[in-house]
Amino acid sequence: MPLTRNRHITATRQLVADQIFRPFQRFFRKEAASSILLIAATIMALIWTNSAIGETYHSFWHTEVSFSFGHFHINKTLVHWINDGFMSLFFFTVGLEIKREILVGELATPKKALLPVIAALGGMIVPGLIYALLNVGSSTISGWGVPVATDIAFALGAVAVFGRRLPVGLRIFLAAFAIADDLGAVVIIAIFYTKEIVWSYLFISLFLILGLAVANFLWIRWTIIYATLGLAVWFFVLGSGVHPTIAGVIVSLFVPARGRYDTDNFLQNVNKIMEKFECEEQSCGYSILLNEEHMHAVQALELACHDVETPLQRLMHALHPWVAFLILPFFAMGNTGLTFHGMVFSEMASNTVILGIVFGLVFGKPLGVILFSYLSVKTGIASLPQEVRWSHIFGGAMLGGIGFTMSLFLADLSFSDPQLLNYSRIAILAGSVLSALVGMSYLGFISASAPDEA
């Protein structure tokens, strides 16, 4: 009996660890693995647009897709459905991760949050200033937001290459820094890339958001309620003129972060349920098919896990695979299609859009991150993560120059001229690749050498 009891306790602890205490590890693995698909999608898009059938790329992604229901009608091209619709789901998952980090993660306390948040602020201000200085007085100044973003999938994927050779604190810092960077990008989109507002739609959106707040306040845990209201918020934000991806972040902030009961009650319930799995022989075998009590116990265990798991956690785990392995690769394929036909590379070398983005990503990002991080630590308002040295922060700052997904997204909002958009895509690819190569080379060097800093 004591042996069986110990086995039940061990199984319960393992269940709790799998269900509750490993969200960051799962998030990191999915984000890092998705970078491989992003690279493949980018290469396919480049080959497609520069091949003999390159014209089919634009005709395919600009195919109009319409939905009608009575008098309701919405018509957009395929690439706009991805950018305005499916990317809203990406920003929704980003918002869920931000909320989780603020509540219980690396942004939960001022001491933890300040370093990555301040680093992200510097990583946005300096690249934006570099671009603005190179394009001041020109219509291309609108692209200042392109080099301010960091692609979390590629950045974490680059760190994952080194495995245990780099401290865990660096991975957590980079993830928190990239998440704070994404939040900054959302604010930039909302403030600077909203051209015209239809106030009636916006007021309806605010009313629906109030409904989300009331549902959260009343402890309503049905995800279908939040999904329905969230979809309505997205539609009216889309009609208001504000970029609809903002709706994804706003809705995520109202998703409940508590289950029906706490972990102590969960453990008590699970222990009671596990006591029903008593078998006469040493092994129960496939008793679930034969023993009705065991079958009911499994169903009760499933219900207990569902009740302790928060809607926020459930949605994060359900949506991350779709976002990481489907939405982002499709976004990359639909937005990376740049053509090299007719380009004069000598002119590109002096183009201020290209120079502003490349310099902003390759030099501005690490400079801003390091400068602001150093000032925050030296003034005592923040501290370095455990086992993380300044050389690690410098390497992570270089990887912050991998803009890619978010930079492509902001470029699409910044430039309506096809040639400027093409130039911006070239610069984003060049700057991101250079940042990845330099950052990974530097981290590889310091991870192979003995620590020389306190």
**Would you list the domain boundaries of the chain?**
19-193+243-259+309-448, 263-304
pLDDT score of 414 more than 70: yes
Q: Which alpha helices (DSSP H) does 50-109 contain, by range?
A: 55-61, 78-80, 87-104
> What pLDDT digit, counting tens, does each position of 283-322 carry?
666 666 667 777 777 788 877 777 777 888 888 888 888 8
- Range with lowest mean pLDDT among 150-154, 163-167, 277-281: 277-281
Confidence of residue 147 (pLDDT cuts 50, 70, 90): very high
pLDDT score of 133 more than 90: yes
pLDDT of residue 355: 95
Residue 356, both tokens: 């502003």
Average of pLDDT values for 182-202?
Answer: 83
pLDDT of residue 127: 95
pLDDT score of 450 more than 50: no
CA 94 – CA 74 distance, rounded (Å) = 26
Confidence of residue 10 (pLDDT cuts 50, 70, 90): low
Confidence of residue 94 (pLDDT cuts 50, 70, 90): confident
> With pLDDT > 70 as the criterion, what percentage of the chain qualifies?
86
Looking at per-residue pLDDT, the higher value among 196 and 436 belongs to 436
> How big is the chain, counted in residues?
454
Average of pLDDT values for 194-217?
Answer: 89
pLDDT score of 371 more than 90: yes
Average of pLDDT values for 57-65?
Answer: 88
pLDDT of residue 27: 52
Average of pLDDT values for 396-412?
Answer: 89
Q: What string of DSSP letters covers 371-417?
A: HHHHHHHHTTS--PPTT--HHHHHHHHHHTT--HHHHHHHHHHH--S
- Which CATH code is given to the segment(s) 19-193+243-259+309-448? 1.20.1530.10
Average of pLDDT values for 400-409?
Answer: 88
Say whether 13 sits in a helix, a strand or coil.
Answer: helix
- Range with lowest mean pLDDT among 52-61, 162-171, 348-357, 381-390: 162-171
- Range with lowest mean pLDDT among 106-110, 164-168, 185-189: 106-110
Confidence of residue 213 (pLDDT cuts 50, 70, 90): very high
Using only C-alpha atoms, the chain has a radius of gyration, in whole angstroms, of 24
303-to-40, 266, 300, 308, 445 alpha-carbon distances in Å: 40, 10, 5, 9, 50
Residue 312 host element (H or E): helix 311-322
pLDDT of residue 453: 43
Residue type, 2: P
pLDDT of residue 132: 96
CA 102 – CA 39 distance, rounded (Å) = 31
Confidence of residue 32 (pLDDT cuts 50, 70, 90): low
> What pLDDT digit, counting tens, does each position of 66-89 carry?
877 777 677 888 888 888 888 888
Residue 361, both tokens: 């990503």
Average pLDDT over the chain, rounded to an integer: 82
CA 254 – CA 273 distance, rounded (Å) = 33
